[in-house]
Structure 1
């Protein structure tokens, strides 16, 4: 009986020693970072809005709502939202120039747009389709400052 007590004690000591040197498993929780977009224009809620990863524009429109005079045609409702991006929804205007249908002469009516820039806007859509108003910034010579100045006068 005395042998078994010693054997049991040694076995317990060995197992305890091995266990004390093993590292504990670290369970990492997946931390979700909040995703935001900035809304401007005819959305009912402007400013920073929290979104879910993979959220589409139509879900955002349902979440925040739009004003009655919003030009919904200016948005690609199937577009997946990009965190930290800015989205602008213009008001309906009967005299807005369509990026996808406007002529060189139409674009030249915008203050500061000459023939060469108007031609670049039209040429861009020969190889690309304007899917949102911000796409005009892909045209050489039109940056964010000019886009902000023209966005109320444009539509898709």
Structure 2
């Protein structure tokens, strides 16, 4: 048998000529078992532990979100800036620009600009017109013409209709004829329609700071929109 010949060869190499062949065979078998067991243990140590796994992270959605944000920031829009600015005209702005950036592009405010009459933090929309009113316009002593500004030219007669005050055309002085409307509130009404456009309904007057439900109720029967 091959195993017997292998054992006899081992006895010769180890100079165990005096040892009986069965003893050598037993020693050889034990040695082989030890080697096999040791090899299996080493393999188990080197093999990956099934308890530890590599988690795959899907970053496709996150990358897509970042790409979309970059596109929004890089997209451009066009806006017409007019009124009391240094250089009125058409300007190209970043897609996430605010009114302040539009005014800056037009060279900043002119000396007579009513800076607080417009919302500088508002996000700009493509194709819109931004009109910066002057101090005289904000005070109601001068009303600019033009549909985009939200203030059609007004006269003393056109500010009243059927005994009611037209909140879209009345000057600050004319608005003060309304019950409970003083100079400060009248100026806020004028400034609001300059910044946000004409009132579409009389209820839109509630968007003006200082006009709540009670104040509006006291004015509703005295006002109209042209």
Specify the structure having the higher radius of gyration (Cα): 2
Normalised TM-score (structure 2): 0.35
Query: TM-score, structure 1 length as denominator?
Result: 0.48
